[in-house]
Amino acid sequence: MTREYRNDFMQSRIAGFMFDVMVIASIGAIDLSAFTIKEFLVPLTAVCVAAGVVTYIHMSLVCKRLFPTYADESWLTLYGMLTGTASTGIILLREIDPKFETPAATNLVYQQLWAIVFGFPMLLLLAIAPQSREKAWFTFGLLVVMFVVINIISFRRFIFKKYKGHRG
pLDDT tens per residue across span 30-59: 777 767 878 878 887 888 899 888 888 888
Do residues 119 and 101 share a domain? no
Domain that holds residue 49: 34-110
Amino acid (one-letter) located at 72: D
- The verdict on 105 and 152 lying in the same domain is no
Same domain, 99 and 165: no
Q: 60-111: per-residue pLDDT in tens?
A: 888 888 888 999 898 888 888 877 777 778 888 888 888 888 888 888 878 7
Task: Indicate whether 73 and 105 sit together in one domain.
Answer: yes
Query: Rounded to 5 degrees, what are φ and ψ at 84?
Result: -150, -110
- In terms of domains, do 39 and 91 share one? yes
Q: Read off the pTM.
A: 0.61
Segment 122-126 mean pLDDT: 81
Domains of the chain: total:
2
Cα distance between residue 38 and residue 104, in whole Å? 40
CA distances to 7, 71, 72, 73, 100 from 68, in Å: 35, 5, 9, 10, 17
